[in-house]
Amino acid sequence: MTRKLRMAEHLKRRVLSRAVLTCYAAGVLALAGAVDLRAQSSVDLAALDSYFAESGDVFKVPGFAVAIVKDGELVFAKGYGVRELGKQGRVDEHTVFAIASNTKAFTAAALAILVDEGKISWDDRVVDYLPYFQLYDPWVTQEMRIRDLLSHRSGLGTFSGDLLWYGTSYSRAEVVRRARYLEPAGKFRSDYGYSNLMFLAAGEVITAVTGTSWDDVVETEFFEPLGMDNTVTSVADLEGMSNVATPHRERDGRVFPLYWYNWDAMAAAGGIISSVADMSQWLLLQLGHGAWDGDTIFSESAQRTMWTPHISNVVTPRSERLYPTTHFRGYGLGWSLMDYEGRKVMSHGGGYDGMFSRVALVPEEELGIVVLTNSMTNLSAALTYRILDGYLGAEERDWTAQFAAIAERNRERAAERWAEFERGRIEGTSPSHPLEAYTGTYGGRMYGDATVTVEDGHLVVSFIPNPDLVGDLTHRHFDTFVIEWRQDFAWFDEGTVQFLLDPGGDVVEMKIDVPNDDLWFYELEFKKKE
């Protein structure tokens, strides 16, 4: 069947399948009525429902949604809380959230379709499709294959280079071009390093092969045939949509909303925005090994490749204590892989500015789970493991309490680090130069330029590639200043700028340190240009 005919058949079925899903979900939301959910499973879904609601309160998450598919059917789909703190709009199963890095499985599956069609091979060289692709080593550049892009084994460090796409005006291709200036953190194909940039490059391979954008490909191949009518690939597509969750974060015990940050430049790594109702269709496609409505969207062979470990992760002592039945962890193509309670589990987390998500699949049990939240907590992981335990017959554990305790310890450690930072301040010092001596343009090959100016008697740093990164500088000690950003960000707060001098005493460079777990400011080179 040609792709056009296949799409026509899918579109014929779309209205009916969507209506069935909506009616089914409505029955689930009521946890009563025409559908007897408990007859379909030994799991007490009403008890899970109560646990979910209580867990949301523990984590102070404004709103979230959960869907479960089992044995080829949607058995649970429900929203909790509000779309935005302080407002009335309630979350339901159609409320859309960022799924973030759960997008990576869509990108891998889109490439799988091209493999099935004979247009590419998993082992094709990336440079054959992206001649501008270049990394830290000429041999690695020439040897990098498509499957390497999808398995976090490029040799780059985890999250390396993410500031290239974060809020910048760089195109997707330009971000890939600038990756050549990143230093490796490990060995090619030997060391795991979670790389959004390589998935961005994978999206550009799709564009090079198909002649259309990654966005159009995933919409045509997945959103349309699966009836994922509320799923989009850009925050720009949210305009006109009403059932949209608002991102939130917590700082100093206060939860507050954030605006939707544009991730278009790295959409192939984390740009999809969806609902649990729509994502349940994606789970059913995965558990159906690529089959949908009697057709094959991608082959079972391709899925086996995606679900096969391409690189291993170390199971740490801490992980062994928390997950005693997990003996291996690895990464396939767009999926994290592990064993849990004697079953193979494919899963992935997603972290967007103000939203966390999680997806899990247990093919042996025909079980799929998706949790979408509008805050940055471990709620999605806690609920996923609680559901897994229920369906896999494991001993019941209060995952919410365990993850909440971990979060509290992390907050305590963060407070200790901040206190240590404050204790490190040396009193009674002054800048070595008048403020005007620090002004000018600073830059490097990888990221671009930043300017330092004087405004109202203090220094201000502005990043040219990302106009949102503007910070006021307050003197800390010697030639080090504290950055206070002019807007709230999800991933980081204050940082420091240290101005470096040459032997003659002239300002020649600035080093920026913004402590956080995701965006590496220390990778940025800012040599003074003028």
**The CATH number of the domain where 163 resides is what?**
3.40.710.10
- Is residue 236 assigned to a domain? yes
Beta bridge pairs of residue 452: 440, 461
Distance CA 205, CA 122 (A): 11
Separate counts of helices (H) and strands (E) for the chain: 15, 22
Distance CA 160, CA 520 (A): 7
Q: Alpha-carbon dihedral of residues 387, 376, 351, 415, nearest 10 degrees? A: -120
The boundaries of the domain holding residue 44 are 3-412
Longest dimension (CA), the chain: 82
Query: Which residue, chain included where needed, has tokens 């159009």?
Result: 216
Distance CA 420, CA 203 (A): 42
Residues 95, 55 share a domain: yes
- Is residue 493 assigned to a domain? yes
- Is residue 418 assigned to a domain? no
- Is residue 283 assigned to a domain? yes
Residues 275, 140 share a domain: yes
Query: What pLDDT shows up at residue 1?
Result: 44
- Is residue 281 assigned to a domain? yes
Residues 291, 357 share a domain: yes
Residues 366, 507 share a domain: no
Instruction: Label each residue of 316-364 as H, E or C.
Output: CHHHHHHCCCCCCEEECCCCEEEEECCEEEEEEEEEECCEEEEEEEEHH
Residues 391, 477 share a domain: no
In the predicted model, residues of the chain with pLDDT beneath 50 are 1-40
Q: Indicate the number of domains in the chain.
A: 2
Alpha helices by DSSP H, listed for 211-329, are 214-218, 224-226, 267-270, 276-287, 300-306, 317-322
- Is residue 187 assigned to a domain? yes
Query: At what angle are helices 3-30 and 276-287 packed, to 10 degrees?
Result: 120
Residues 313, 243 share a domain: yes
Element (H, E) at 67: strand 63-70
Query: What pLDDT shows up at residue 42?
Result: 79
- Is residue 427 assigned to a domain? no
- Is residue 419 assigned to a domain? no
CATH number reported for the structural domain that contains residue 466 in this entry: 2.40.128.600
Residues 247, 116 share a domain: yes
Please list, in sequence order, all residues whose beta carbon lies within 8 angstroms of the beta carbon of residue 468, skipping any fewer than 6 positions away: 167, 487, 489
Residues 20, 124 share a domain: yes
Residues 319, 195 share a domain: yes
Distance CA 200, CA 104 (A): 9
Residues 461, 314 share a domain: no
Query: What pLDDT shows up at residue 28?
Result: 43
Instruction: Label each residue of 163-216 as H, E or C.
Output: HHCCCCCCCHHHHHHHHHHCCCCCCCCCCCCCCHHHHHHHHHHHHHHHCCCHHH
Span between the terminal Cα atoms of the chain, in Å: 62
Query: What pLDDT shows up at residue 38?
Result: 34
pLDDT digits (tens, 9 = 90+) for 228-268: 999 999 999 999 999 999 999 999 889 999 999 999 999 99
Residues 483, 335 share a domain: no
Please list, in sequence order, all residues whose beta carbon lies within 8 angstroms of the beta carbon of residue 184, skipping any fewer than 6 positions away: 135, 136, 137, 155, 156, 157
Query: What pLDDT shows up at residue 320?
Result: 94
Using left for φ > 0, alpha for ψ between -120 and 50, and beta otherwise, residue 457 falls in left
User: 269-292: b or e for each residue (b if 16 or more CB lie within 10 Å)?
Assistant: bbbbbbbbbbbbbbbbbbbbbbbb
Query: What pLDDT shows up at residue 25?
Result: 42
Query: What pLDDT shows up at residue 13?
Result: 43
Query: Which residue, chain included where needed, has tokens 């991730």?
Result: 263
Residues 173, 62 share a domain: yes
Query: At what angle are helices 379-392 and 399-423 packed, to 10 degrees?
Result: 150
